[in-house]
A = this chain, B = another copy of it.
Amino acid sequence: MILEEVDNRLAQYGYMMPYDLGAKGSCMIGGNVATSAGGIRLLRYGSLHAHLMGLTAVLPTENGTVVQLGSSLRKDNTSLHVPHLFLGSEGQLGVITRVVMSAVPRPTSVQSAMIGAESFESCCDILRLARTQLSEILSSFEFLDSETMDTLDKALGLKPVLQSNPRFTILVETSGSNAAHDTAKMEQFLNQCVGRGLATDGVQAQSAKESAAMWRLRESCPLAVAKCGFVFKNDVSLPLGSFYKLSEVVRARCSSLAQRIVTYGHLGDGNSHLNITTHKYSEELYQRLYPFLYEWVVDHGGSISAEHGIGQLKLPYASLGKSSTERDLVRRIKVVFDPNGIMNPYKSF
């Protein structure tokens, strides 16, 4: 089943899948579970761990054992919660053939706003304010720096929504059940952002068209950087205090070797997509970036792969920050499911 198709079916009953991805038109539920897909609404609905209840998998035994794990119940403490091991397992344990997860009521009111800020500290303060003021309806808190906005303009001709040309642009979305309440909360929140001197500018979308224009900027980021030539892509998680420091450290380290240092991502989840672009692949730049960047991330309490797994590229660095005890435990769990090591070999662990 493709995510968007499931979501369309749920819409008929007033429900919705609890996550949403740019790839929803092609990605499949089994893959979403295997990669523990995050997406743009994690702030509101939580990760897939919050929704997964059970699954069926085919194990790589001689005769392809089919095992049903968990149940279709919200509460079931009759066994180890094994289905959760499959979240983020990236095909290492078995092939997922059936998933039971909870759906959420489809929001009848979705509001968007864009906010400009001149310092990264202000962005963090705005996030804290959103967590308390928008609280139960806050669904997205996305971040784009000025280099991202410039790339969107140069590469795709997409102009900014905010006129103030701020150093940082934030896209906030709420999902709720009452448009009057939600717009009132958003208005109060934006007023406080400006009133407290955190934001230079704040614009609430007045129509679906205005909202779409805001999201087009955020969703076009991967395409815009791809147009620059070669891209060293990164998908890291960091504590907020180090989130943008990484971009500054990398900028200083690359100096003239890089064309652009473009940072956007899900600030609300601490997830930075840091892209270093060049006209074409440069071995010198690669050597300057890695493993430096991964080591810096781990030294600052972050993860070298927030959403996109380890795979082959990051395999040499997969053990960064992990103890031998943890790695050994994980390998032995894998053996329980896949004693011959035939599932997605030469990757992950």
Contact = CB atoms under 8 A, between A and B. Distances in A.
A125 to B, nearest CB: 14
Contacts of A50: 46-47, 49-50
A304 interface: yes
A309 B107 CA distance: 35
Interface string A34-56: 01101000100011011110000
A239 B100 CA distance: 14
A191 interface: no
B135 A73 contact: no
Size bracket of the A interface: 35 or more
Nearest to A48: B49
Nearest to A266: B75
A88 B82 contact: no
A38 B304 contact: no
B107 A73 contact: no
Contact of A309 (B77, B85, B176): B77
Contacts of A90: 77
A71 B323 CA distance: 12
A306 interface: yes
Nearest to A308: B77
A291 interface: no
- Give the interface centre of A59, A67, A184, A318 by most chain B CB atoms within 10 Å: A67
A325 B74 contact: no
A288 interface: no
B78 A302 contact: no
A163 interface: no
B318 A237 contact: no
Interface in A294-340: 301-310, 318, 322-323, 325-327, 329-330, 332-334, 336-337
B177 A79 contact: no
